[in-house]
Amino acid sequence: MKWRLLRGLVYLAILGVLAVAGYAFMGDLSPDQAEVRRPVVLDGR
Per-residue pLDDT of 14-27, as tens digits, reads: 999 999 999 988 88
Taking the domains of the chain in order of start, what are their residue ranges?
1-25
> In b/e form, how buried is each residue of 29-45, taking b as 16+ CB within 10 angstroms?
eeeeeeeeeeeeeeeee
Q: Which residue has the higher pLDDT, 5 or 27?
A: 5
pLDDT for position 45: 61
Q: Is it the case that residue 4 has pLDDT exceeding 80?
A: yes
Q: Is it the case that residue 29 has pLDDT exceeding 80?
A: no
pLDDT for position 1: 85
pTM of the model: 0.56
